[in-house]
Structure 1
């Protein structure tokens, strides 16, 4: 299941404490893409690739160009601009807005906002905000824990021991992010972040006991609102005769929302301390990211001898 948040122009207005200069009637327009458009080349007359669904940001460069135009040409360019009906226009640096642009934006109901923040800085701030808010979300079943700062996604069949392992990890000083239902958000094209739905946050189900509140039982330090997903662990019942990884030379991956995440499979059988195994897995992952691979080192030592 994949869903997306929605962002209104009103949300941007409130988030960045903007001023509304015209087009108040369109303040509840819905922004659907995170990209930002600075329409410099379009105002110069080239409209072929203009994207009105993007937030339009005008800075000193664009407004200086508009002010340099003859009055009739200025009106023609602004008329053409507003006919494309951009989702919203934001003017940065507190630049003076041409009165004709204010007039036409008001007529078309295009929210025209302004900020005193510099164009480049505001563009970066707004892009980060929209990327985070509009990132696609996938809901999956599993448990997400933070182990030594590494986000570990535990998956496996129902009843395999995911929640019990999470509680044991919490007792060992690590933090629970989500149990059972995890909302995974793809931020940009490089990373995944997981959290729990608001109505299930910090709750965990233990068979035979029921629902417990981890934050209430173990304190605020035992939980975490969200975490990047760095490593996926699949728990499965130990199958006699099946070959499991012994050296750790294979670089297995699991694909989530088009991104490949490091993955390992851990066989489960009575008496095995899964919390300890996951701690070691997280520390080993961290060492690999720092450039050290114990399996490679061990193999090289054997070859040298």
Structure 2
């Protein structure tokens, strides 16, 4: 099971550690956070105790209104479940009673200056990506006109060279050679790099280049949603090349189907230009436009 440590979260969001500093290596394995408002009121059915617990103004203000005895009971009922940590938002103060219980139970108590809504959004996105199921495949990942594309093909077919041409046209590299695919929801896959190859592109006969150093920061982005799977293959005369519309094909990654297109290579073909056309055509289809439907309507009008 994938996990991140409390220290990873502290470092990522520059959190202040108020208590439990000796337990920062504890693991977080759940991708969403929880606000224990109902639990402070005494309702514990469906308590997501294995999640990071967020304490906003409503929770802290409620605790402030209680007597010392009531407050101790309410806090004690929650900490006995040993959640991974508590995060107090908006730099709220008056937390000595929380610090006492967290120290006793070995639960990190953290604090951020961010608002509750903003911090929950940030940490939910972070945990969703860090804890997402992932696979690594051989290929290149690029972003073309804002469209995330996985570029595949046999070794030596020209994936990295094609990516280099696309970068020269103003598009962005995400990953070369090893592409990390993360399933961040039942319908969405993100492509990224493995860290070691960040910003690097391997070109045969030249070697490694750093695209950000050569072409500027806009030549690289850290991740992209994968919406197209393009495979570069050798030209085959037996395959028809003048279809009005190809039958939809898909490649499945972690139970998610991604539209799959093959581009055949031949000397003189503008492969990068064809990939740009594929990206733009996908975008138009998402907007409800089909060039084939448009053509057929024109034909019908001519017949009439």
Match of 1:280 in 2: 277
User: Does structure 1 retain, via aligned residues, the 8 Å contact 2:211–2:220?
Assistant: no
User: Does structure 2 retain, via aligned residues, the 8 Å contact 1:7–1:32?
Assistant: yes
1:143-158 equivalences under 5 Å are 143-158=140-155
Match of 2:252 in 1: 255
Match of 1:225 in 2: 221
* 1:165-188 deviations in Å (ceiling 9; x for gaps): 333334444333322211223334
CA distance in 1, matches of 2:268, 2:113: 63
User: Does structure 2 retain, via aligned residues, the 8 Å contact 1:92–1:117?
Assistant: yes
Match of 1:176 in 2: 173
Q: Once the 2 structures are TM-superposed, how far is the Cα of residue 244 of structure 1 from its aligned partner?
A: 6.0
User: Does structure 2 retain, via aligned residues, the 8 Å contact 1:9–1:28?
Assistant: yes
User: Does structure 2 retain, via aligned residues, the 8 Å contact 1:7–1:30?
Assistant: yes
CA distance in 2, matches of 1:202, 1:59: 39
CA distance in 2, matches of 1:192, 1:22: 37
Query: Structure 1 268/129 Cα, relative in aligned 2: closer, same or farther at 3 Å?
Result: same
The reply to whether residue 23 of structure 1 matches residue 20 of structure 2 is: yes
The reply to whether residue 91 of structure 1 matches residue 88 of structure 2 is: yes
CA distance in 2, matches of 1:258, 1:289: 21
Q: Gaps (5+ residues) in structure 2? A: none
Q: Once the 2 structures are TM-superposed, how far is the Cα of residue 36 of structure 1 from its aligned partner?
A: 0.8
Query: Structure 1 158/222 Cα, relative in aligned 2: closer, same or farther at 3 Å?
Result: farther
User: Does structure 2 retain, via aligned residues, the 8 Å contact 1:203–1:211?
Assistant: no
Q: Once the 2 structures are TM-superposed, how far is the Cα of residue 32 of structure 1 from its aligned partner?
A: 1.9
Q: Once the 2 structures are TM-superposed, how far is the Cα of residue 38 of structure 1 from its aligned partner?
A: 0.8
The count of residues paired between Structure 1 and Structure 2 equals: 301
Match of 1:7 in 2: 4
Q: Once the 2 structures are TM-superposed, how far is the Cα of residue 92 of structure 1 from its aligned partner?
A: 2.2
Greater shift in the superposed pair: 51-60 or 280-289: 280-289
CA distance in 2, matches of 1:106, 1:221: 45
Q: Once the 2 structures are TM-superposed, how far is the Cα of residue 231 of structure 1 from its aligned partner?
A: 1.6
From 153, 158, 161, give the equivalent of 1:161. 158
Q: Gaps (5+ residues) in structure 1? A: none
The reply to whether residue 213 of structure 1 matches residue 209 of structure 2 is: yes
User: Does structure 2 retain, via aligned residues, the 8 Å contact 1:175–1:221?
Assistant: no
From 234, 238, 242, give the equivalent of 2:235. 238
CA distance in 2, matches of 1:79, 1:174: 55
Q: TM-score, normalised by structure 2?
A: 0.84
CA distance in 1, matches of 2:195, 2:91: 38
CA distance in 2, matches of 1:237, 1:167: 19
Q: Once the 2 structures are TM-superposed, how far is the Cα of residue 88 of structure 1 from its aligned partner?
A: 0.3
Q: Secondary structure at the match of 2:120?
A: helix
Greater shift in the superposed pair: 151-160 or 37-46: 151-160
CA distance in 2, matches of 1:181, 1:10: 28
Query: Structure 1 98/150 Cα, relative in aligned 2: closer, same or farther at 3 Å?
Result: closer
Query: Structure 1 115/261 Cα, relative in aligned 2: closer, same or farther at 3 Å?
Result: same
